[in-house]
Amino acid sequence: MSSLNKNASNVSNNKSNVTTSTLNVPTSVSNVSTSVYNVSTSKPYVPSSLKIKIENLGKRVPLSILKEIIVDLCNIRPYSAAELAQILGRTEYHTIKRIIRPLMEEKQLFYTIPEMINHPHQKYTTITKPHRETK
């Protein structure tokens, strides 16, 4: 009977050792993944006058108000679709499809790189760039 108790205590000791070593592995893995995927969470610059207006927006805002805010922002400096979505607290898909594309069709917004509309650094502005003359 005493040998059975010894074996039982060895098993429980082995389990605690396994648990301890298992807990150490995920900690080091999570530290690695955090440094690899370090993403900046800073918000883009928004002037204080527009910041107050944006902070008072609710979940359901008429598109006309969102369009007006985007035009005001892009009149100050060019913004990417991701930046505009982040500022407005909307998804990038919604921002592009429901707000940016209609504004571009209405000629209120323009690409900063019109030659490459899918450029990874594409931004939107209210100022149209003069087209280069071809020789």
DSSP 40-54: --PPPP--HHHHHHH
Above 90 in pLDDT, residue 94? yes
What predicted TM-score, i.e. pTM, was given to this entire model? 0.63
Q: For residue range 2-29, what is the model confidence (pLDDT) as tens digits?
A: 555 554 444 445 454 444 444 444 444 4
- Please give the mean pLDDT across all residues of the chain: 76
Token pair 């003069």 in the structure block, residue:
130
